[in-house]
């Protein structure tokens, strides 16, 4: 595996960051993204929104990060798109550390985060700025045929799922658009939680199509500056 490039520090978010109300909605939502990474995501979404194209997220869960993307989309006059089957990724299933029993539908015995996601958007006042694409990422990507300004990869953490998300959506990223990869952990002991996103991050850089813009915690922001995805 090639060595990772030295990460750059992301610029601090000052004026133009999310309002206190949006930040409160982000904090209140179920999810795992820390505030510093959320602010970096928001800054990337604001920048990408200037292209006038939709902002796309893979991996909705309960809408914590969607709140930030939707608010940035609202400010830019575009739409946030979020893709998820809402049955939970591998590490969110019963018996794993990231499982939340409150997300299980008692009638069918499976996870269903869609109702919680909808409540998150409603409480934040952002429902009209989001289109929820309910389905598996590769299936949705196959029928998608429009460019997007941002692709936020935050879905399944196996190589199969992380690579499928990259392969399905990165080609739809407009020139100058931003690829954001979450849970990038270079250390081998983080194999289950972040090695697959790390390998996707390295793959994107190795393609020659992307230039790294910033690194904040486990969040990496890359700009599409070439072809060859």
Question: For 111-117, what is the mean pLDDT?
Answer: 90
pLDDT above 70 coverage of the chain, percent: 83
Q: Crossing angle of helices 64-76/35-49, nearest 10°?
A: 30
54 close to 76: Cβ distance less than 8 angstroms? no
Question: CB atoms < 10 A from the CB of 193, how many?
Answer: 16
pLDDT score, position 117 = 96
Structure pTM? Answer: 0.87
Question: For 54-58, what is the mean pLDDT?
Answer: 98
Sorting pLDDT into bands at 50, 70 and 90, what band is 184? very high
End-to-end, the C-alpha distance of the chain in Å comes to 19
88 Cβ partners below 8 Å, 6+ apart?
61, 99, 103, 111, 113
The catalytically annotated residue of 157, 161, 172, 182 is 157
pLDDT tens by residue, 156-171:
888 999 999 999 999 9
Question: What span, in angstroms and rounded, lies between the C-alpha atoms of 65 and 16?
Answer: 17
Question: What span, in angstroms and rounded, lies between the C-alpha atoms of 53 and 159?
Answer: 28
Greater confidence (142 vs 4) lies with 142
pLDDT score, position 149 = 98
104 Cβ partners below 8 Å, 6+ apart?
94, 110, 111, 112
pLDDT tens by residue, 61-98:
999 999 999 999 999 999 999 999 988 666 655 665 66
Q: 172 catalytic, yes or no? A: no
- Mean pLDDT value across the chain: 88
Sorting pLDDT into bands at 50, 70 and 90, what band is 4? very low
pLDDT score, position 110 = 73
């Amino acid at each position: 595996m090639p060595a990772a490039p030295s990460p750059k520090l992301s610029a601090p978010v000052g004026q133009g960051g999310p309002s206190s109300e949006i930040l409160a909605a982000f904090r209140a939502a179920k999810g795992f993204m820390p505030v510093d990474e959320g602010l970096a995501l928001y800054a990337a979404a604001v920048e990408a929104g200037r292209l006038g194209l939709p902002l796309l997220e893979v991996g909705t869960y309960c809408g914590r990060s969607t709140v930030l993307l939707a608010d940035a989309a609202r400010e830019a006059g575009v739409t946030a798109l979020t893709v998820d089957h809402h049955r939970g990724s591998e590490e969110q299933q019963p018996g794993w550390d990231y499982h939340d029993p409150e997300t299980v539908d008692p009638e069918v015995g499976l996870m269903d985060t869609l109702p919680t996601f909808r409540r998150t958007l409603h409480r934040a006042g952002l429902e009209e700025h989001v289109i929820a694409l309910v389905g598996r990422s590769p299936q949705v990507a196959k029928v998608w045929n429009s460019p997007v300004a941002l692709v936020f990869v935050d879905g399944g953490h196996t190589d199969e799922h992380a690579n499928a998300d990259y392969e399905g959506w990165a080609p739809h990223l407009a020139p100058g658009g931003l690829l954001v990869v979450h849970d990038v952990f270079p250390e081998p002991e983080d194999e289950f939680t972040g090695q697959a996103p790390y390998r996707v991050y390295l793959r994107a850089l190795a393609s020659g199509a992307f230039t790294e813009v910033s690194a904040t915690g486990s969040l990496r922001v890359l700009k599409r500056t070439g072809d060859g995805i």
